[in-house]
Structure 1
Amino acid sequence: MIKQPPYLKKGDKIALVCPAKKLPKSIDEAIAILSSWGLEVIIGESVYASHHQFAGTDELRTKDMQQFLDDPSIKAIIAGRGGYGTIRIIDELDFTPFNLNPKWIIGFSDITVLLSHIISQCDVQCIHGQMPYTFEESTPEAIDSLKRALFGEQQTYQYKSEFPNRTGEATGLLIGGNLTLLAMLQGSVSEMDFDHKILFLEDVGEHEYSIDRMLRMLKRAGKLAHLKGLVIGAFNEIAAEKIPFGQTVEEVIWDIVQEYDYPVCFNFPTGHIDHNLAMVLGTEVNLKIKNNNVQFKYL
């Protein structure tokens, strides 16, 4: 049974850390927004640290993350940004205190490593959503979706897909995140169980052939055969190649999953985009797709 951390309330303490890449700009505006929600924001040492590309050494980032995992007064931990580096520290973290006092872990992109590990090893819900580094460019609706998720307000997302979907309806536990990181975690203790789940995927800066390769790897490993539904988020910033691959990302994905019968939707508002809506991993959702109309509801 997947555990749900207590929803936040005004006066709660949340911690801000950087388990991966260092911050190249101020996040004071994001801290002000989090504070305006009535939260006390505790700034970790890694937030202002620097070691080559990283927000401090592996040891510093591990220590910073561990102290907030251990502290029962901290009710949520939000990653300042993604980038690269979480995989370098994940096996050094002790989640025993976290399991005794679950709290919300928030982030996306490289933070998929942490989210997947928490789902796999701790059976605790977590949130794929905007991080302070992305607050400045975010739509108000995306930031609000994060606030609503943290404070326990029920949400329903509705939109129209530009690419043809596969009609259908499914209810199941939500998993997913960044495709590159999910593929990289296969075969490790941080790998999520895909069977009978609603899976969402997103990625940025990958060529079509790379997306094709990673999805075919997941397919060969049996990860796509027994899903209840598939939600395809943003796959953006794809650089042109000298010799075109010949298919769009949507066409690549459709080719790979067309033999299955579960509902599939494209262009879902999640990923490395301004309108990156909060996705609560490990919670039950209902996905309803009719032609280009998509409804995604938290239950």
Structure 2
Amino acid sequence: MKKFYPLKKGDTIGVAAPSARFDDKRLNQGIECLKNLGFQVHVPRAIFGEKRYLAGDDASRAAVVNELFADPGIRGIIAARGGFGAMRMLSYLDWDLIQKNPKLFMGFSDATALLMALIQHTQLAGVHGPNLVSLADADPKTIASFFQAITGRPKDILIPRGVCLLPGQAMGKLMGGNMATLAHLIGTPFQPDFKESVLFLEDVGEPAYKIDRMLSQMKMAGLFEGVQGVVTGSFANCENQEYIPQILSEVIDGIPLLMGLASGHGDLNLSLAMGLDVVLDTSSALLKWKPLQ
């Protein structure tokens, strides 16, 4: 059972920058959003580092994550932005320290690498939801969903425009995230294990043939073995989106498969409590969380 550590108003959220450099103005707008939701925010000076497109070198970005987990005054950690870089710093993390100082981690896109590693290496649940800069101009429904998820009240999600590719009901722990990030973890010590899971997949800016290639690689690497069901999020700015249902149906077979969850890089980015048990029902187009223990 994955452990979920919800936040409450007044708690302090620390900002990590595991991936790319960020725009300072949007970061400050995101901070104001968290404050408006009732949280305090701690911003380490080290997140403003620069190395090419990264927010500092790998060891420095990882050191911030380690320090935030070690700090008893920090109750949650949010990724500043996505881009690229989270997978590069995973080997620098102090997994024993993190496991002894559990707290909630929030992020999406490239932060998928860190989110999945935390779930698998420390048994912590987390939230696939907006990065801090994403909150700068987030849709009100995105912000409401984010608040509900991080405070331990993930709202069941009805998928009114869902496209059912294979009917059925699936139960398992919710796993997954950005498809490109997950595919690039194959063959590393941090390759994800999706057995007994309901798998969530989303991506942005990828043409259909690349989505086909990533899904095919994941299947050949065995990542779909033991998966109970699949629900997909947004495929924002992806070329030839009309091909994606065909590709999914060809690569993933024999389990419930539903498209259309409004989570990921689209205008609406609903937050998902990851690592927790869910039920995916394609007949009612519903993703439902089991009650937290």
TM-score band (shorter)? Answer: over 0.9
Offset at residue 45 of structure 1 (A): 2.1
Q: TM-score, normalised by structure 2?
A: 0.92
User: Aligned partners of 1:61, 1:224: CA distance in 2, in Å?
Assistant: 31
Q: Does 1:19 align with 2:31?
A: no
State the match for 1:143 in structure 2: 143
User: Aligned partners of 1:201, 1:185: CA distance in 2, in Å?
Assistant: 14
Q: 1:298 aligns with which of 276, 289, 292?
A: 289
CA contact (8 A) 1:174 1:198 kept: yes
Instruction: Give the direction of change, closer, same or farther, for the CA distance of 1:194–1:56 in structure 2 (3 Å limit).
Output: same
Offset at residue 126 of structure 1 (A): 1.0
State the match for 2:92 in structure 1: 92
User: Aligned partners of 1:273, 1:247: CA distance in 2, in Å?
Assistant: 17
- Secondary structure of 1:32's match? helix
Indicate the larger mover: 41-50 or 167-176.
41-50
Instruction: Give the direction of change, closer, same or farther, for the CA distance of 1:37–1:236 in structure 2 (3 Å limit).
Output: closer
Indicate the larger mover: 185-194 or 94-103.
185-194
CA contact (8 A) 1:176 1:200 kept: yes
CA contact (8 A) 1:163 1:266 kept: yes
Q: 2:244 aligns with which of 239, 243, 249?
A: 249
Offset at residue 139 of structure 1 (A): 1.6
Q: TM-score, normalised by structure 1?
A: 0.91
Runs of 4+ in 1 over 4 A off after TM superposition: none
- Secondary structure of 1:106's match? strand
Residue 80 of structure 2 aligns with an amino acid whose one-letter code is G
CA contact (8 A) 2:234 2:266 kept: yes
Structure 1: runs of 5 or more not aligned: 241-245
Alignment deviations for residues 160-199 of structure 1 (CA, whole Å, 9 cap, x no partner)? 2354432211221110011111111123222222112100
Instruction: Give the direction of change, closer, same or farther, for the CA distance of 1:162–1:294 in structure 2 (3 Å limit).
Output: closer
Residue 24 of structure 1 aligns with an amino acid whose one-letter code is D
User: Aligned partners of 1:234, 1:20: CA distance in 2, in Å?
Assistant: 21
CA contact (8 A) 1:116 1:191 kept: no
Q: How many residues align?
A: 289
State the match for 1:8 in structure 2: 7
State the match for 2:109 in structure 1: 109
Residue 114 of structure 1 aligns with an amino acid whose one-letter code is L
CA contact (8 A) 2:66 2:97 kept: no
Alignment deviations for residues 25-56 of structure 1 (CA, whole Å, 9 cap, x no partner)? 41222211211222110012244333321112
- Secondary structure of 2:111's match? helix
Residue 256 of structure 1 aligns with an amino acid whose one-letter code is V
User: Aligned partners of 1:269, 1:216: CA distance in 2, in Å?
Assistant: 24
User: Aligned partners of 2:179, 2:213: CA distance in 1, in Å?
Assistant: 11
User: Aligned partners of 1:60, 1:194: CA distance in 2, in Å?
Assistant: 30
CA contact (8 A) 2:29 2:133 kept: no
Offset at residue 154 of structure 1 (A): 4.1
Offset at residue 282 of structure 1 (A): 0.7
User: Aligned partners of 2:133, 2:183: CA distance in 1, in Å?
Assistant: 25
Offset at residue 131 of structure 1 (A): 1.2
- Secondary structure of 2:4's match? coil
Identity over aligned pairs, percent: 32
Structure 2: runs of 5 or more not aligned: none
- Secondary structure of 2:166's match? coil
CA contact (8 A) 1:201 1:232 kept: yes
